[in-house]
Structure 1
């Protein structure tokens, strides 16, 4: 995966994190929407972790 894709995922994760924090400050926030946002944030975090894990693997030695 490209570094720019990973950068976009991190940015999207940060945006969702800020939305969650903002909505948590409002007493009348929609619990269903909060749940959706948290699931989306976790999904993006998992994607980032998988990409980083693949990127961190050493390349196979060519013989």
Structure 2
């Protein structure tokens, strides 16, 4: 087995950091999409004339149904 050098360790650290950054960006993107979908659903129900409390409840139900599918 080849002995690891400090350069190997540094390269591995850089690779891990790069992968973590990519994973964090994917999570941020998914969160932005989720928030956008939640706002769109809320706006849909308020546009139908529901008060904000009812719109929140309907949005919660609608999103739960989407997650089940």
- TM-score normalised by structure 1 residue count: 0.48
Please state which structure has a larger fraction of its residues in helix.
2
Scaled by the length of structure 2, the TM-score of the pair is: 0.44
